[in-house]
């Protein structure tokens, strides 16, 4: 019995030690998100862009996206809009064509968004290789008029890959859409902005990103193998010592899931992709970090550990709770009363999570009384990652399941109601 308790105490200490290192590093980097961000130098419009939109049953929203792209404050002859319908049972292609987009009929089997983008890049490189950069959007997005002008500035300034500011078009719909909005605002401020301030790489997160034609040709096209093609592309850039630049002047608006079941489905795919990417790229990242002393690779390797660290934190909390029930002493790292109070009780984790959500809203100037429910619910959103990650350790998502988008909001209406 004593041996078992000793092993449990040792396991809790190791778990808390690893999680403390992980959390401490991310907290230190996140503080740089409080620094003033630098703006890209203004350049005359000169770069030609191909805009790629993978679309599955998006007839309800695709027209508004194409219209927002056609309204760009950028010479119309310098960009082309391509919609790539796939596995559609509605009139996505017709709606996109009527709005003014070109249609690329996907002729390959599709299991993920990455398959669609691979087809589109391969087709354009072979048949219309005239572009300086490629911008990728999701069909439910709306795009700020200054997006292409900002990406032109970044491309002229030497960026080979860049991520835009990902905003939300329906933060007030439900508590869940509010949680997602806070989550992306948090990534903007404490991940991408913070890393841009320290010379690390921003993260490509699904939509509103740009890659240069030169980088795509160097990579031999767009080739990803996991369920999170965005994270994989970021990692492929890092392994080439290419930093993903942060371009907050380029802004997109994304439709967020409304229900917990939709969120569960989507985040299972994200977690699966991270675990797939961890297995595929972590050894190469660690090797590059150690032998080439690459800060970019080290930071990306730490990013891939997120699901594992959440599970480790959960295990430590469970062990601590079990031993506390039996009034048994347990050592955590560091061994202080303050750390024990912060690390173990659910009440403290709720206050820390809610407080961080509120701080994000204030810093990003997104505060609204309508988001109070989202702030209070954010703890549930964060803690639900733990069962998702535990489940994906044993049963992973293998097919890209669609999430229906129904918020047909024109850009004019969004700008009138924006905070």
Top pLDDT among 203 and 20 is at 203
From CA 82, how far away is CA 102, in angstroms rounded?
5
pLDDT at 337 over 60: no
Helix (H, G, I), strand (E, B) or coil at 339: helix
Residue 419 banded pLDDT, cuts 50, 70, 90: very low
DSSP letter for 286, please: H
Helix (H, G, I), strand (E, B) or coil at 3: helix
CA dist 243 to 31, 126, 282, Å? 20, 27, 17
Tell me, yes or no, whether 407 lies in a domain.
no
DSSP letter for 398, please: -
Domains in the chain: how many in total?
A: 1
Residue 164 banded pLDDT, cuts 50, 70, 90: very high
Tell me, yes or no, whether 158 lies in a domain.
yes
**Could you tell me which residues are beta bridge partners of residue 102?**
82
Tell me, yes or no, whether 171 lies in a domain.
yes
From CA 278, how far away is CA 300, in angstroms rounded?
10
Tell me, yes or no, whether 75 lies in a domain.
yes
Tell me, yes or no, whether 388 lies in a domain.
no
How much is the pLDDT for 341? 54
Residue 336 banded pLDDT, cuts 50, 70, 90: low
Tell me, yes or no, whether 305 lies in a domain.
no
Percent pLDDT > 70 in the chain is 89
Task: Kindly report the three-state secondary structure assignment for every residue of 342-391.
Answer: HHCCHHHHHHHHHHHHHHHHHHCCCCCHHHHHHHHHHHHHHHCHHHHHHH
CATH number at residue 140: 3.90.550.10
From CA 159, how far away is CA 141, in angstroms rounded?
23
Give per-residue pLDDT as tens, 220-278.
999 999 989 999 999 999 999 999 999 999 999 999 999 999 999 999 999 999 999 99
Do 246 and 208 form a contact (C-beta atoms < 8 A)?
no
| Neighbour order of strands in the sheet with 49-55 | 102-103, 79-85, 49-55, 133-138, 209-212, 161-168, 244-254, 142-143
| DSSP track, 37-76 | PPPPPP--S---EEEEEEESS-TTTHHHHHHHHHT-SS-G
Tell me, yes or no, whether 202 lies in a domain.
yes
- The crossing angle, in degrees rounded to 10, of helices 306-325 and 385-394 is 110
How much is the pLDDT for 55? 92
Give per-residue pLDDT as tens, 344-369.
556 677 888 999 999 999 999 999 99
How much is the pLDDT for 181? 97
What average pLDDT score do residues 392-400 get? 78
Verify cis geometry, omega within 30 degrees of 0, for the bond prior to 126.
no
b/e code 262-299 from CB counts within 10 Å (16+ = b): bbeebbbbbbbbbbbbbeebeeebeebbeeeebebbbb
Top pLDDT among 55 and 312 is at 55
| DSSP track, 151-209 | HHHHHHTT-SEEEEEEEES-TTS-HHHHHHHHHHHHIIIIIIIHHHHHT------SSSE
What average pLDDT score do residues 73-102 get? 94
pLDDT at 295 over 50: yes
Residues spanned by the domain of 106: 35-277
Q: What are the φ/ψ torsions at residue 395 (nearest 5 degrees)?
A: -140, 105
How much is the pLDDT for 327? 61
- pTM for the model: 0.91
pLDDT at 342 over 70: no
Tell me, yes or no, whether 94 lies in a domain.
yes
From CA 248, how far away is CA 345, in angstroms rounded?
37
From CA 84, how far away is CA 336, in angstroms rounded?
56
From CA 318, how far away is CA 71, in angstroms rounded?
53
Give per-residue pLDDT as tens, 89-138.
889 999 999 999 999 998 888 888 899 999 999 999 999 999 999 999 99
Give per-residue pLDDT as tens, 16-62.
788 888 989 999 999 999 998 888 999 999 999 999 999 999 999 99
DSSP letter for 33, please: G
How much is the pLDDT for 11? 76
Mean of the per-residue pLDDT values of the chain: 89
């Amino acid at each position: 019995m004593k041996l078992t308790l000793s092993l449990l105490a040792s396991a809790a200490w190791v778990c808390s030690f690893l999680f403390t290192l992980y959390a401490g590093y991310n907290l230190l980097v996140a503080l740089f998100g409080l620094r003033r961000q630098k703006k890209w130098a203004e350049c005359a419009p000169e770069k030609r862009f191909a805009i790629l939109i993978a679309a599955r049953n998006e007839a309800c929203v695709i027209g508004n996206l194409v219209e927002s792209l056609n309204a760009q404050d950028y010479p119309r002859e310098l960009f082309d809009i391509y919609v790539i319908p796939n596995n559609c049972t509605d009139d996505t292609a017709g709606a996109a064509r009527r709005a003014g987009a070109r249609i690329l009929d996907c002729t390959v089997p599709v299991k993920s968004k990455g398959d669609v983008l691979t087809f589109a890049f391969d087709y354009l490189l072979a048949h219309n290789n005239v572009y300086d950069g490629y911008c990728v959007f999701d069909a439910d997005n709306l795009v700020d008029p200054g997006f292409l002008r900002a990406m032109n500035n970044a491309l002229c300034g030497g960026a080979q890959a860049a991520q835009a500011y990902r905003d939300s078009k329906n933060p007030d719909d439900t508590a869940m859409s509010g949680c997602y909005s806070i989550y992306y605002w948090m990534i903007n401020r404490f991940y991408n902005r913070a890393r841009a301030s320290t010379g690390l790489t921003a993260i490509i997160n699904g939509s509103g990103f740009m890659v240069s034609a030169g980088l795509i040709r160097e990579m031999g096209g767009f080739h990803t193998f996991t369920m999170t093609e965005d994270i994989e592309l970021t990692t492929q850039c890092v392994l080439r010592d290419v930093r993903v630049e942060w371009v907050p002047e380029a802004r997109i608006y994304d439709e967020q899931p409304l229900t917990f079941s939709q969120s569960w489905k989507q985040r299972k795919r994200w977690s699966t992709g991270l675990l797939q990417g961890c297995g595929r790229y972590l050894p190469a990242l660690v090797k590059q970090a150690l032998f080439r002393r690459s800060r970019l690779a080290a930071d990306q390797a730490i990013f891939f550990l997120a699901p594992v660290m959440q599970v480790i934190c959960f295990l430590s909390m469970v062990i601590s709770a079990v031993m506390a029930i039996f009034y048994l002493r347990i050592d955590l790292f560091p061994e202080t009363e303050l750390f024990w109070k912060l690390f173990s009780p659910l009440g403290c984790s709720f206050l820390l999570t809610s407080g961080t959500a509120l701080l994000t809203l204030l810093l990003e100037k997104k505060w609204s009384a309508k988001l109070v429910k989202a702030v209070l619910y954010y703890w549930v959103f964060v803690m639900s990652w733990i069962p998702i990650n535990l489940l994906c350790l044993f049963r992973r998502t293998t097919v890209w399941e669609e999430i229906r988008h129904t918020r047909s909001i024109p850009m004019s209406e969004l700008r009138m109601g924006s905070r």
